[in-house]
Amino acid sequence: MTPLEDAQEFVLGQCPPQQPIEVDRRMAGGLVLAEPVVSAEIVPPFDNTAVDGYAVLAADVATAAQSPVDLIVAGEIAAGAAPDRPLASGEAIRIMTGAPLPAGSDAVVMVEDSERLGVDGDGTERVRLSASVPVGAAVRRAGDDVKVGDEMFPAGTRVTPAVEAVLASVNAQTVVAYPRLRVAVLSTGDELIDDGSPLELGQIRESNKTMLIGMVAEAGCEVVDLGVVRDDETELENVLRSAALECDAIVSSGGVSMGDYDVVKAVLGRIADMTWMQMAIKPAKPFAFGTLERADGTPVPIFGLPGNPVSSLVSFELMARPAMRRMMGHSRLTRTSLVAVADEGFQRGVDGKVHFARVNGEFGDDGRYHVRPVSAQGSHQLSATASADAMAVIPDGEGLPAGADVAVLLLADLA
């Protein structure tokens, strides 16, 4: 049997990052930057106020905390408007959050520390200010967030919504990033039914492809659904060759176990450079990986996952997902791992394999993540695994007792 680490190293070595491309920043969400982003603009682009209030000279309100100061209201500046005159001593200009600071002012008094006094008979409006503020109070200076030439994000940064917002703020219209993978997903087998028709003896509902489509999409890839392919060599070869022309990777479920009917193995063995593995793990022992070359010589990775649904899920998580993430430029390829507390024991026997037990977990009052196995661990029992939050890594041996530390791989972000 092949150790998991050796199998992973082999597959990752065959799945290098894709060639970077220039991408409109509006389409870059979820992608990984291949080149750093350097700002050509400053942020903020002008001195502005951090609060609603009154732009003033700090010297005019130096004693306002002890004795409120009355000032002439010389105008108003809304966000998006430009000041139409400088501020003189003895004046205040009403100003809204984000609006440009008028020339001559050097501080802002919050609106909470003001009282509007109305308009005099001569049409002069006045405000009473009751707070003393230092120079620069509530003022956001031009360039205090970003300066021209600042490296905003290094290569390897994943474009999150917050990163997208920063790109917009510095007018980065395009970025150089690793492209999103286009991944074909198919299941094989005459026994699979996906049209809702009644089952005949020996037939089962298709479920692996449905699951894998969601997992491929969750990994950040674009999915191409190739449906269920029957046990026909010509049909399967045509589907695979067509997929290699339009997709960056192919995920197939079924036909990789030692005892499987040989259509999948026959076709892939003839048209692709394949390696068939028996990995030292449970579930997901059988796994196939290879490449199918396009006419231009470009190798397209093929991930052959086992047909048992839980095995297919585990195999995807441990083998296909990390490889796809590497192809898209991610530096962290695996799921988040942590050391948890086993609230129940994990019983197993010595078999030369690492077991991946599906578990439910939650944080306890002790601040640690506590896990217990889901109700059923059979490789065909997907209904139990569907509720799992993580996989516990149980090394070869006699298992772990309740209360023991256990390594886990999270299957999703912690809620």
User: Which CATH code is given to the segment(s) 337-410?
Assistant: 2.40.340.10
- The Cα–Cα gap between 64 and 73 comes to 16
The per-residue pLDDT for 375 is 86
pLDDT single digits (tens) 189-245: 888 888 889 998 988 888 899 999 999 999 999 999 999 998 899 999 999 999 999
Q: Which CATH number fits domain 21-41+148-178: 3.40.50.720, 3.90.105.10, 3.40.30.10, 3.20.20.210?
A: 3.90.105.10
CA angle 163, 168, 170 (to 5 degrees): 100
The pTM score is 0.88
73-99 residue pLDDT tens: 999 999 999 999 999 999 999 999 999
Which one is the CATH code of 48-140: 1.10.1240.10, 2.102.10.10, 3.40.50.720, 2.170.190.11? Answer: 2.170.190.11
How far is the C-alpha of 232 from the C-alpha of 106, rounded, in Å?
79
Burial classification of residue 184, based on how many CB atoms lie within 10 Å of its CB (0-12 exposed, 13-18 middle, 19 or more buried): buried
Cβ 133 vs Cβ 109: under 8 Å: yes
| Residue range 32-58: mean pLDDT, rounded | 97
Among 160-164, 181-185, 216-220, 375-379, the least confident range: 375-379
**pLDDT higher than 70, residue 415:** no
Q: What percent of the chain has pLDDT over 70?
A: 98
211: left (phi over 0), alpha (psi -120 to 50) or beta: alpha
> If you average pLDDT over every residue of the chain, what do you get?
94
Residues 240-266, mean pLDDT to the nearest whole number: 86
DSSP-based three-state secondary structure for 378? coil
Indicate the SS3 state at residue 167: helix
For residue 281, is pLDDT > 60? yes
Mean pLDDT across 238-256: 94
3-state secondary structure 111-153: HHHEEEEEECCCCCEEEEECCCCCCCCCEECCCCCECCCCEEE
